[in-house]
Structure 1
Amino acid sequence: MIKHDVGEKFPGMRDHILGEESNMFTNTAGESVEVTIQSTPEETKLLLTKVLDENQEAAALLAEALHATPDTVLDSRLQDLNFDLDMDSIGIWIDPIDSTSEYIKGIEDEEPKSGVYWHGLQCAVILIGAFHRETGSPVLGVVNQPFSKQDPESKSWTGHSFWGVSHGDFHCNSLLSSQGSSTTPISRNGLAFTMSASEEAHTKDAFSSLGRVHFASGAGYKILCVIEGHVDAYILTKGSTFKWDTCGPQAILKSLGGGIVDYQKWKSSSTDAENGNFLASAGLKYDKPDSEEPVSEGQKWSNSGGIIAYIDAEVLKKIHGASQD
């Protein structure tokens, strides 16, 4: 849906919209079907029935949703943005649902710890990021959290979208007031991090000695916790995230003065001076794979050196020693 709508508005970008999911499906009869939005709901319904084993009702409901015009309210700050950006030089990475397992489980009653949900629907997010195809640098990012808050009486959910722009000297985002300060500063004692529960024990111990560690679900959500200020950094030592996970969030972090860098490269910068020089020019790139060496298709677009997401570079200096353990 996102690829279709963006491609319609910006035809020059249509072949440069990339992501985790494929629109090729195989039904129970073994027939492969490429799903694309057709000119009319009826045509889209006919295509979807092939995928859904002739389930007319489900196909009709999906087609109706795909062709509906969403009722959206544009952030007023977006209307005031004024900067030059050649849309024909832009590529897009999309993850239509990050933390799929949490979405499938549908856990609604998880309680946060210091603002961080370790599991639950709150961890399921939609990630969209735009990058310069020549430089690979992220410039625009959106993180949509459709299950942000639940009404205790009606049980209905309210979503929350975060966006950021970082293009040259221009920086703007949904988390800053007109005075340029955070609208909801978070007060807490000591450092805090998000990490994956699958990290090695010695890595967990090293960073736990420096502050509180939250083992939350979903890469996108863990970075969102950095964006919102619930934690100081998201640390991942393994290459288990992908370009579609980090492009959008990195653009938002850049607009806040932070970023996302390759963990292994950051770890190898052994002194504060080297670390500072590294951060001044570093950042994940999105125009090509990390390695020119042949890798499996599934790992082609991975952030192979791991990642560390942050807002304040001073925090990285404080924790750099722990990465050497």
Structure 2
Amino acid sequence: MPASSVANSFPPYFSYAAVASASVLALVWPGGAPAVLGPVVLVGLVVLGLAHGACDQLVLPATGQVRSGQRAYLGRFVLGYLSLAAAAGLGWWHWPGVAVSLFFLVTVWHWGSADAPAQPGQLVLWLAHSLLRGALLFAIPARWWPAEIQHSVNGLLTLAGAAPLGAAWFTGLAQGLWPVVGVGHLVLWACYARRRQFKRAYTDASEVLLLTVLFLTVPPLLALGVYFVFWHSLQHMLRLNRVFGYPALGGPRRAWVAVGKEVAFFMRRALPLLLVSLVVPMGLYLLVPAKLAALDTLLGIAVITAAILTLPHALLVSVVLDSGNWRAAKNKPGVIG
């Protein structure tokens, strides 16, 4: 399947249900929600989270962009992928403050662009949608749970060997970001309405509301985990299944009947690289000194692992799967792009 035709063309029913369920649980049983959600997210981080990038080596052949033999291609792919991952790892080792900042910026872009609907010929709208969605995922927790977010960010900086953020600097950033994100979404929806893309505006507004409730009710790290596992990672798997030739069933049945088969289809292809990927956190656990409490150390290792693997993964998604969105409109008067 051509990369330009790969889009999130189906409603993420299961992801909506997972996020809504976590929010309802936190509202009904705020004291017990972390104990219930914690193990679920932990298992999901391996089964869906780490695994969702473990089929990257299959994307180029599936989109018809490999002309050489399979062994030659895999050799070049592995070399390039590992080189980017190694560069990210060296960045964390030598320039931890810069690496942490770049990790958050790359994550904002990668998560946001994954959620943005395909908009070939409307480059500016696609970029705006991507950046606003990615920023939303951090703006709300930073504003609503400032102490928890600052503790987590500073713990990560300390683990990496960088100076922690001051309270005043972090507070200013948190208070300044969310109004910009809020106004930006209003402008985005107005642009969709002006183009008579009412369904797109309604869908995005509904998703923003759903995610906002999640980040207001569930503690921030758990909320980010729920989003990453059951929204970002799952939707990426389903998206790649279309590339790999798995037939789209369509309709609500996807969420409740077929999602298990879809995950199994993807996992069979992801398992070899997933097992290799597990070496990264195990190696970091042995190399990183015990600077923090055990829980913070494990959290930091998980984030650093994600950062090292996210750079090549995000680059592949943006360049190959999202290639159609980068083409600005040509000879189309009145179309932003």
Question: Common fold, TM-score beyond 0.5?
Answer: no
TM-score for both structures, normalised by structure 1 = 0.22
TM-score for both structures, normalised by structure 2 = 0.22
Say which structure is richer in strand.
1
Q: Which has the higher relative contact order, 1 or 2, with Cα contacts under 8 A spaced 6 or more apart?
A: 2
Say which structure is richer in helix.
2
